[in-house]
Chain A
Amino acid sequence: MSDPYLRVEGLVKRFGPFTALGGVDLEVYPGEVHCLLGDNGAGKSTLIKTLSGVHEPTKGKIYIEGKPVKFRSPRDASDAGIGTVYQDLAINQLLSVTRNFFMGRELKGSFGTLRMDEMNQIAHDEMLKIGIDFSDPTQAVGTMSGGQRQTLAIARAIYFGAKVLILDEPTSALGQKQQMGVLKTIKKVRARGDIGIIFITHNEIHSRLVGDRFTFLALGQTIGSGTNSEINDEEMRRLMSGGAEMGDLKQELAAI
């Protein structure tokens, strides 16, 4: 096994008096899909926002290729190879596919003008590589389906040098067919071998289908972790429901 590209140690994040993360550990290896699981409010989004430079950690360390790093802005994190695809995708509906693809990192010509043709070509090619042949990248994103938007956001992160790709609940707002499309995209990215993926989901089946490694969060704490083979279905279900035994839950429900 190679070294992890990204390692997180004892990460704490407080918002005022509220502890959103109370000491979380995480390791992400190239070519692996690391599923981050946990109930609503467990702190998944807070964890990835800290990893992508939106929040500064209150305590704890982040290592990239073994070296400690501090992110002061999303730019720092993306420069360090962390590409985040947010739940809301950070996409502007009214702008074209290309303008979204290059948002904030436009290609400029000699007079500061946009190299529009080149940008159109790249946006088209990069999206094709992971699954969509979108013939007209000058079209507004508003007309794209949810799955296509995911692909755009993922292709964008990869093109701009992501070594760790963070996907925050990419399947949650999609229909069945599109969810499968996103899982295929995840597999395609995984197959490249050089990119680690943090896949946040509620869905046990999805995480089984593509996950190599799992970390379970509950109330801001890591309550379990392991590889796909180490964790059996029952253990998985127990950890997914925040660490309670299935039997306990049954009893609780029966008591009502």
Chain B
Amino acid sequence: MADQNEAGRLKQETALQKLLRRPEIGSFTVMLIIIVALSFASEGKSFNALGLKNNIAIIAQYGIIATGAAVLMIAGEFDLSIGSMIGFAGMAMSMMLKWGLPFGMGEATPFTAFIFTLAMTLIFGWLIGTVVVRSGLSSFIVTLAFLFFLRGVTEVSFRLINKSTQISGLPDYKEESWFANLLGGDVFGWFYDLWFMLGGNLNRKGAQWVDGFDARFLWWLIISAVAYFILSRTQFGNWIFATGDNKEAARANGVPVNRVKVTLFMFTAFCATMFAACQVFDTNTSDAAKGNLMELFAIAIAVVGGTLMTGGFGSIIGVVFGAITVGLVANAVFFIPAIDGAWFRVFLGAILLAAVFANERIRKRITGGI
């Protein structure tokens, strides 16, 4: 049969060739360049004990929401409400901690404040997703509506109940609550202990300088690992890809396309809530402007990480590289005071554009140039 030799036409590749063709290779290369350039330009300060902690703090923040945005984009939708959802979740949590639970249910603990907030944000996520799949409207416009709506609700609630659009000076819950500590405390202390034992990580007095990473580092790793596992190893993961690639094809094969999408809108709401919770319990403050523009950073990082704007394709590992790259550059101004912080946005714009072209090339290669 003519077709029988078709398979033979496929060139066998070496392991190295395969590696070089991976979709993450672009974001990986950019990341390496940034790490090396930053180490030199900051005279090592970016990656000393404190520099590493601060860099990872912002990388993890970006990474958490970019993971949510990327998985949703793979399923073919956008969520512009992520930033406002962060603001809303932070407001809800801190107000419950300050003013008590709603409906006169008494004082809030960090745990109950978190659970109540998560319940609300998940309901919003569900609502956004349901509106998108039921109306058939573009998620761009539906979530843009929620961007304004949630930010407005956040400010109004703050003013009505709290009289001010920020809360500061909450007690340091992580001292007593294991739960607050899980979100806002330190993790991987052993890393810095080890560094100290090996003779580094010293402050001016010669004592141990830094004790651990922010807890959001751990949450970022967990969320990324779970997202990676689901996408590559589970039925739901296959449904996510199928939904984003060709919705009608997926539906014809029995994939519950709408359920997949609604679930993923709830997932971005979850990621936004984790972002907010880590912030609230780390700093014991919140204000109505928190999370502003974060939805755009999340989408930009997802794209830099190799996620297709058109859905159906993306890589969590790529998003990890993207978050590291963007986080490092966002923070660079703190380590290299001579540069103007606005260069960050110039850089982000440039790599975003480059990434879009690179992703398009990858898509063409996979689909055989269509």
Chain A interface residues toward B at CB < 8 A:
54, 73-75, 78, 84, 86, 88-95, 99, 102-106, 108, 112-114, 116, 131-136, 139-140, 142-145, 147-148, 151, 177-178, 180-181, 184
B311, chain A: closest CB distance, angstroms: 9
Name B366's contact: one of A91, A94, A113, A151 (CB within 8 Å). Answer: A94
- Of B149-157, B249-257, B271-279, B343-351, the segment with at least 4 beta carbons within 8 Å of chain A is B249-257
* Inter-chain contact A103/B238, CB cutoff 8 Å: yes
Interface centre among B4, B235, B248 (most CB of A within 10 A): B235
From known contacts A99-B242, A103-B253, infer whether A93 and B367 are also in contact, taking CB-CB under 8 Å.
yes
The 4 closest A-B pairs by CB, nearest first: A142-B367, A104-B254, A104-B253, A92-B245
Known: A106-B238, A181-B2. 19 other contacts (CB 8 A): A78-B254, A88-B248, A90-B248, A92-B245, A92-B246, A92-B312, A94-B245, A94-B308, A94-B313, A103-B255, A105-B253, A108-B234, A134-B7, A135-B10, A136-B7, A140-B367, A142-B370, A143-B368, A180-B2
For residue B241, CB closer than 8 A to chain A, the reply is yes
With known contacts A92-B250, A112-B234, A145–B6 Cβ distance under 8 A: yes
| A140 and chain B: residue at smallest CB distance | B366
Q: How many A-B residue pairs have CB under 8 A?
A: 120
The answer to whether A91 touches B249, judged by C-beta atoms less than 8 angstroms apart, is yes
If A93-B246, A104-B253, A113-B233 touch, whether A181 touches B1 (CB-CB below 8 Å) is yes
> Do B3 and A147 have beta carbons less than 8 Å apart?
yes
A103-B366 contact in complex given A131-B3, A135-B10, A177-B2, C-beta closer than 8 Å: no
B239 at the interface (CB under 8 A from A): yes
B299 to chain A, nearest CB (A): 19
- Inter-subunit contact B235/A114 (CB<8 Å): yes
Residues of B at the A interface (CB closer than 8 Å) are 1-4, 6-8, 10, 233-235, 237-239, 241-242, 245-246, 248-255, 308, 312-313, 363, 366-368, 370
**Docked-complex contact A95 and B245, CB < 8 angstroms:** yes
A89 — nearest CB in chain B belongs to which residue? B249
In the complex, A73→B256 CA distance in Å? 11
Q: Is B367's CB under 8 angstroms from A94's CB?
A: yes
Q: How far is the CA of A102 from the CA of B234 in the complex (A)?
A: 12
Complex contacts, B238 vs chain A, CB 8 Å: 95, 99, 102-103, 106, 114
CA distance in complex: A189, B259 (Å): 35
The answer on a CB contact under 8 Å between B1 and A95 is no
Chain B nearest CB, measured from A24 CB (Å)? 22
* Residue in B6, B252, B308, B363 whose beta carbon sits within 8 Å of that of A84 in the complex: B252
What CA separation (Å) do A92 and B313 show in the bound complex? 11
| Beta-carbon contact of B2 and A139 below 8 Å | no
Residue from B4, B253, B308, B370 with most neighbouring chain A CB atoms (10 Å): B253
B234→A148 contact, CB < 8 A:
no
Which of A89, A142, A148 meets B6, CB within 8 Å? A148
Q: Are B1 and A99 interface neighbours, CB within 8 A?
A: no
Given A93-B366, A94-B363, A112-B235, check contact A99 B241 (CB 8 Å).
Answer: yes
Partner of A93, one of B7, B233, B250, B370: B370
CB atoms of A103 and B234 under 8 A apart: no
Give, as a whole number of angstroms, the nearest-CB distance from A75 to chain B: 5
Chain B residues with CB under 8 A of A133: 4, 7
> Can you list 19 pairs linking A and B with CB atoms under 8 Å apart?
A74-B251, A74-B252, A86-B252, A92-B242, A92-B249, A93-B246, A94-B312, A94-B366, A99-B242, A103-B242, A103-B249, A132-B7, A136-B10, A142-B370, A143-B366, A144-B368, A151-B3, A177-B2, A184-B1
